[in-house]
A and B are shown apart, each in its own frame.
Chain A
Amino acid sequence: MSLKSLTKAWEPMSYGFLDASAKREIRRKMLKAIAVPGCQIPYASREVPMARGWGTGGLQISCTLLNPKTTIKVIDQGADDSVNAASIRRFLAGVSGAPTTTDTLKADLIQSRHRIPEEILREDQVLVLQVPNPEPLRPVQPNMSIARQMHADADYGRMWLQLYEQIVRSGRVMQGASYPSLVNGRFVMTPSPIPRWDVPKMHMAKHLTILSAGREKRLHAVPPFTKVEPLVFDDVPYKVEDHGAHVCTRSGAKGYFMNEIPQDDGPSTFEVSDSELGVKSIHRADGEAVQIGETWYKNGEMTE
């Protein structure tokens, strides 16, 4: 046996872009994150050929997880054809040879920015969420090292106070997206800037969610069948966006999270934010046989 027979030919780029040592570190940190749900795990976060803040955290996770048989779906704001989603999908496919899809049901790995698809994810699927700011305590404590200590002490008093002050001032919790949530009864995490509509989808979900912030060099995870509870007071229930009654003007889909489209002549129309669900609904309306999976929301209400 010669040394040459054991080595691979030199290639200008590693499979999946990241070198083996970078992937090994990310795998270890992902395992740690899964073992301590919701806890932010620091990682080296290598530079990747995209600008920080453009999904580099999610990209490193996807690059580490994928293999030539992984079917990838990439969405931004719920849409597969958003320019940055298109760019990330092209990169992931290019560095791995993995097939891509827009169909949530056919995807093994879904990298997303700001949305969780409306169709229920399965045990065999992994959701990778891009995270701009992994620290839910940032609004009350911008210093990362102090915030880290607060998590260690489960010192979330200022977080609760902030929510209480919003209710006193505005009559409701004013948090829009990124609603802070307690994971497994221990760590408060940001679910990433997904709308409030999507947070309940994480609670006791069948799929694994990895949330990764490349610029801030932190990742955290929500393992399957883990409690994710938005921070709420007993007498002020959690409230998702009031989109349940909106109808998509293009596809006729109803009861999902919508994009609001302002109109020249007055108010707004709505389009379903999960673009592939919209496409499927159009095909179905045209009489084509399409498979639409079970959705978390039915008639605008979250199912248990």
Chain B
Amino acid sequence: MAYVATRGGERAIEQSQRLFKAEMGAITPERVAETRRAMPYLVDRVMGEASLYDEDLAALALAQTGGELYETILLLRSWRTTQPRLAVADPVTQEGLFTHRRISAAFKDIPGGQLLGPTLDYAHRILATEVLTGTPHVPTLVTPAPHPAPAQQPSVAAWQAENDLLNLPNPDTTAGNDIPDVTREPLLFPAKRAHTLQSLARAETGGVLALGYAAQRGYGQAHPTVNELRLAEAEINVTHPRGTKFSAGRVKISQAEVVSKKGSQLELGFAATMGWNEVKVIAAATLDLNSAGAPKGSATEEEFYLYHTEGVESSGFCIHFKLPHYVTFQSSLDAMRDAKAKQAEPAE
């Protein structure tokens, strides 16, 4: 029976997955551990976009997908969404962060001091080809500073507000389960502030960069000055059902404040994400800075950039065009042929 013979869908997809996985070989705990150890910045990026802070799960997802990043994020997001929300941590404040790196482009020196921290910014990007010929690249030990910088620092924006350069937004006092959660409710526009910041935090790095860069290059009105870029660790303080407060651990976070002159005041753009990912937070803060009053349909309009930087949605839709579309195509062909036939008819 010819019709039945073509029913190979199930077998075909099974074999196609085997082909994909065959290239990667066995996924072992050792491989996951090595991925986590060797690729901290990739793990950070993945944790940020997945909005799931777990280095082991992120490394596992990377190993399981062979580094196909969109697949990695989807894997983690669909795992994350099935997990219960057990508790809501206390708000993380800027002053309370354990700061590793903090730089400002706005002032030569800032209250609390510039803190260079770990960066490749001033490295010469020369490929260490000697590694391939047998000379391992062993990092030189760090010489500790004679006077360690204080771990906790105020924000530059706070100083600007004190000196009447900037109006800080009123602190949002929404607490606990009342905080809007974009993973548990739809994103609608105009977006809640929490939804905007959450969406940027989990946005796809490349997408945020593309639109943020467009804004920086001139498709946005405001030119960003990096007020403060910070890489830090945040203490996650949670209240136990018995009432005692405890730390559930520390998470790495990045945050950026960018400012722009608007009349006699500075305007502030902000973004933060889990993991250390500087490009993402600077680009995201630029979008936030340009967002107010942006024309509908422009790259800096909130609806435009939040929809189009959502990596799971954008990548999924892009690859869905591989699916068969022969019904819709046939429907279009029918309309085209009919229109053509009508045009060929002699006019009455």
Interfacial chain A residues near B190, Cβ < 8 Å = 145
A105 at the A/B interface (Cβ < 8 Å)?
A: no
- The prevalent SS among residues of B at the interface is helix
- A279-B330 in contact (CB<8A): no
**With A52-B317, A82-B9: A47-B323 Cβ-Cβ less than 8 Å:** no
**With A81-B9, A143-B296, A171-B343: A251-B331 Cβ-Cβ less than 8 Å:** no
Binds A, one of B143-151, B180-188, B213-221, B242-250: B180-188
Binds B, one of A83-91, A151-159, A204-212, A290-298: A83-91
B106 at the A/B interface (Cβ < 8 Å)?
A: no
- B313-A215 in contact (CB<8A): yes
Interfacial chain A residues near B312, Cβ < 8 Å = 47, 51-52
Interfacial chain B residues near A81, Cβ < 8 Å = 6-10
Residue in A17, A53, A114, A278 whose beta carbon sits within 8 Å of that of B320 in the complex: A53
Residue in B2, B13, B303, B326 whose beta carbon sits within 8 Å of that of A144 in the complex: B303
Q: With CB as the reference atom, state the residue of chain B lying closest to A76.
A: B324
B4 at the A/B interface (Cβ < 8 Å)?
A: yes
B335 at the A/B interface (Cβ < 8 Å)?
A: yes
B342 at the A/B interface (Cβ < 8 Å)?
A: yes
- B327-A77 in contact (CB<8A): yes
Q: Which of B31-64 contact A (CB under 8 A)?
A: none
Measured in the bound complex, the distance between the Cα atoms of B335 and A268 in whole Å is 17
**With A49-B78, A90-B10: A273-B317 Cβ-Cβ less than 8 Å:** no
Q: Which of A258-290 contact B (CB under 8 A)?
A: 258-260, 273, 275, 278-279, 282
B127 at the A/B interface (Cβ < 8 Å)?
A: no
A56 at the A/B interface (Cβ < 8 Å)?
A: yes
Interfacial chain B residues near A90, Cβ < 8 Å = 10
Residue in A46, A54, A82, A171 whose beta carbon sits within 8 Å of that of B81 in the complex: A46
Interfacial chain B residues near A38, Cβ < 8 Å = none
Residue in A86, A113, A260 whose beta carbon sits within 8 Å of that of B333 in the complex: A260
Least CB distance, A18 to chain B, in whole angstroms = 7
- A241-B330 in contact (CB<8A): yes
Interfacial chain A residues near B303, Cβ < 8 Å = 143-145
B109 at the A/B interface (Cβ < 8 Å)?
A: no
Measured in the bound complex, the distance between the Cα atoms of B315 and A47 in whole Å is 13
Residue in B1, B189, B327, B338 whose beta carbon sits within 8 Å of that of A193 in the complex: B327
- A241-B334 in contact (CB<8A): yes
B80 at the A/B interface (Cβ < 8 Å)?
A: yes
B332 at the A/B interface (Cβ < 8 Å)?
A: yes
Interfacial chain B residues near A54, Cβ < 8 Å = 316, 320, 323
Residue in A48, A87, A142, A177 whose beta carbon sits within 8 Å of that of B78 in the complex: A48
| Total chain B interface residues with beta-carbon distance under 8 A | 59
Q: Which of B82-100 contact A (CB under 8 A)?
A: 82, 84
Q: With CB as the reference atom, state the residue of chain B lying closest to A279.
A: B3
- Total inter-chain residue pairs, C-beta < 8 Å: 170
B297 at the A/B interface (Cβ < 8 Å)?
A: yes
Least CB distance, A112 to chain B, in whole angstroms = 10
Q: Which of A62-109 contact B (CB under 8 A)?
A: 76-78, 80-87, 90
Least CB distance, B318 to chain A, in whole angstroms = 8
Q: Which of B273-315 contact A (CB under 8 A)?
A: 296-297, 303, 307, 312-313, 315
- B186-A45 in contact (CB<8A): yes
- B297-A143 in contact (CB<8A): yes
- B338-A172 in contact (CB<8A): yes
- A196-B331 in contact (CB<8A): yes
Q: With CB as the reference atom, state the residue of chain A lying closest to B314.
A: A52
Measured in the bound complex, the distance between the Cα atoms of B303 and A258 in whole Å is 40
Measured in the bound complex, the distance between the Cα atoms of B288 and A82 in whole Å is 43
- A114-B189 in contact (CB<8A): no
- The prevalent SS among residues of A at the interface is loop
Interfacial chain A residues near B320, Cβ < 8 Å = 51-54, 132
Q: With CB as the reference atom, state the residue of chain B lying closest to A175.
A: B335
B339 at the A/B interface (Cβ < 8 Å)?
A: yes
- A51-B316 in contact (CB<8A): yes
Q: With CB as the reference atom, state the residue of chain B lying closest to A273.
A: B327
Residue in B6, B183, B326, B337 whose beta carbon sits within 8 Å of that of A259 in the complex: B326
Interfacial chain A residues near B331, Cβ < 8 Å = 176-177, 195-197, 241
- A176-B82 in contact (CB<8A): no
Residue in B80, B184, B297, B315 whose beta carbon sits within 8 Å of that of A142 in the complex: B297
- B339-A44 in contact (CB<8A): no
- A44-B186 in contact (CB<8A): yes
Interfacial chain B residues near A226, Cβ < 8 Å = none
A178 at the A/B interface (Cβ < 8 Å)?
A: yes
Interfacial chain B residues near A14, Cβ < 8 Å = 82
- B339-A176 in contact (CB<8A): no
- A44-B184 in contact (CB<8A): yes
Interfacial chain B residues near A48, Cβ < 8 Å = 78, 81
- A47-B80 in contact (CB<8A): yes
Q: With CB as the reference atom, state the residue of chain A lying closest to B76.
A: A47
- A177-B8 in contact (CB<8A): no
Q: With CB as the reference atom, state the residue of chain A lying closest to B338.
A: A172
Residue in A144, A178, A194, A257 whose beta carbon sits within 8 Å of that of B189 in the complex: A144
Pairs of residues from A and B, 10 with the lowest C-beta to C-beta distance, nearest first:
A52-B316, A53-B320, A176-B332, A86-B9, A42-B186, A176-B331, A51-B316, A171-B342, A47-B77, A177-B328
Would you give 28 A-B contacts (Cβ < 8 Å), ordered by A? A19-B82, A42-B186, A51-B315, A51-B316, A52-B312, A53-B318, A53-B319, A56-B316, A76-B323, A81-B10, A83-B9, A83-B12, A83-B13, A84-B323, A90-B10, A115-B327, A132-B317, A143-B296, A144-B303, A145-B189, A146-B296, A171-B339, A175-B335, A194-B327, A197-B331, A242-B338, A251-B3, A282-B1
Other A-B contacts than A42-B186, A142-B297, A250-B2, 6 sampled, CB-CB below 8 A, are A22-B81, A48-B81, A49-B74, A87-B9, A174-B336, A196-B331
